[in-house]
Structure formats: structure tokens, C-alpha cells
Amino acid sequence: MIKLGILEGSLRKASLSRAVARAAATLAPEGFSCVALPSTGTLPLYNQDTFDEGLPDSASAMLAAVADIDALLIVTPEYNWSMPGSLKNAIDWISRDTSNPLAGKPVTIWSVSPGLLGGARVHEGLRHVLHSLDMQIMAKPEVQVAGAKGKVDVEAGTITNPDTEAFLRGHLSGFHTFCTKWGAGNA
């Protein structure tokens, strides 16, 4: 069994990407046990002075949560052709753990947008950052949920478009194969 952590890039209550993240847990194949990671909004803005004084509880909780997973799915919107600052802030906090709890762990990225490009431009920059954490990135196929307003039920946290649902289900199945290849869950 591979423990898959799901990290949401948006803080917004009526978030489209959060709905997709919630749906992911129901679309994952049996070999994944899914867990929602703490919201990135629980973390203060990273400041090295704060870190030197000791970890805030929220950062300890995030670090413990990521240490406990075998693989990571990030579901995020695109902000100004990049990742939301709160997501980058969470990655910066995680990166300060000298044991590097994400090193070697497989990761995949789903972007979600009401726009036609589906947040396509967030992928490359986010992959760049995840490389610095020594993660194993499944680069292809990329997942971009475009025109998301017509494809998700925000209240229910479900995918309403059957083609999108089938694509995401298939992607998680492929990601499970990728995780197995990299030995995730065998420790």
C-alpha cells in the first residue's frame, strides 16, 4: 500500500482545485491510501529568524505529515503563470527539515483553472522547485483541468464531467505504476 498525500494549492473556500483534490481521493486505485495534508494556510510566512527560534506547531504538523507519506499529489491553481505564494511558502518550510522528508518520493502535479489553458504554465516552475527537494517527478502526462467551472461540483467535491473523471482516474493509475517503479511504500 502506498500512502498518497494530497496537497491543495488554494486557500479559497469555493476553490475549484480543492474540489478536484477532494475528488482525487475517490478516484485513486486500491493500491493508494489517500490522506489530505494540512492546508498551506496554516503556516506563517517563512522567516529564518522564526525557524531558528523553534518550529511553530503548524510547521511541525506539516513536516510530520509529509514525513509520513510515500508519494505526493499537488492540486493547484496557477497564479500569474506560477504557483500561489502559499504553496511556495509551504515548500520552503518543508525544505528546511534537514532530513528532507520528501527526498526520493514520487510526485505529480494537477493544475486547475477556469481558463482554457488549465493552469499549464504552473507546471514547469513547480517541477523546478520540486527538483530542488530531490523528488521523483512524473512529468508526463501533464494534468490540466481547463474550463474547470463546468467540470466540478465545488460543494460536493466531485468531478461532473465524465471524460475528465476518466482521465484523472487513469492518471492516478499511471502514477501508481510510477510510484511502484520508484519503490514507494516499500520502506
Count, in order, helices (H) and strands (E) of the chain: 6, 8
125 binds ligand FNR (CB under 6 A): no
Which amino acid is located at 155 in the chain? E
Q: Find the shortest distance in angstroms from Cβ 107 to ligand FNR.
A: 19
Q: Are 70 and 4 in contact (CB under 8 A)?
A: yes
Q: Interface with ligand FNR includes 136 (CB under 6 A)? A: no
Grid cell in block for residue 94 = 518543508
Q: Name the one residue in this structure whose C-alpha cell is 505526493.
A: 72
- State the minimum distance, in angstroms, from the CB of residue 74 to ligand FNR: 12
Q: Does 40 bind ligand FNR (CB under 6 A)?
A: no
Compute the least distance from the CB of residue 183 to ligand FNR, in Å: 32
Using rule CB under 6 A, residue 15 touches ligand FNR: yes
Instruction: Assess 79 for contact with ligand FNR (CB under 6 A).
Output: yes
86 binding ligand FNR? (CB under 6 A): no
Contact region for ligand FNR (CB under 6 A) — 27-35, 65-73, 78-86, 93-101?
A: 78-86
CB of 78 to ligand FNR, least distance (A): 4
Grid cell digits, residue 122: 504552473
Q: Is 138 exposed, middle or buried (0-12, 13-18, 19+ CB in 10 A)?
A: buried
For residue 137, what are the β-bridge partners? 107
CA distance 153 to 109: 20
- The separation between CA 169 and the C-alpha centre of its own chain, rounded to angstroms, equals 16
d(CA 102, CA 70): 8
- 101 contacts 63 by C-beta, under 8 angstroms: yes
157 binds ligand FNR (CB under 6 A): no
Q: Which is nearer to ligand FNR, 55 or 129 (CB)?
A: 129
**Binder to ligand FNR among 81, 103, 104, 150 (CB under 6 A)?**
81
Establish if 113 lies at the interface with ligand FNR (CB under 6 A): yes
Q: Cell triple for residue 135?
A: 523528488
In the complex, the smallest distance separating the C-beta of residue 110 from ligand FNR, rounded to whole angstroms, is 11
Where do contacts with ligand FNR occur on this chain (CB under 6 A)? 10, 12, 15-18, 77-81, 112-115, 117, 119
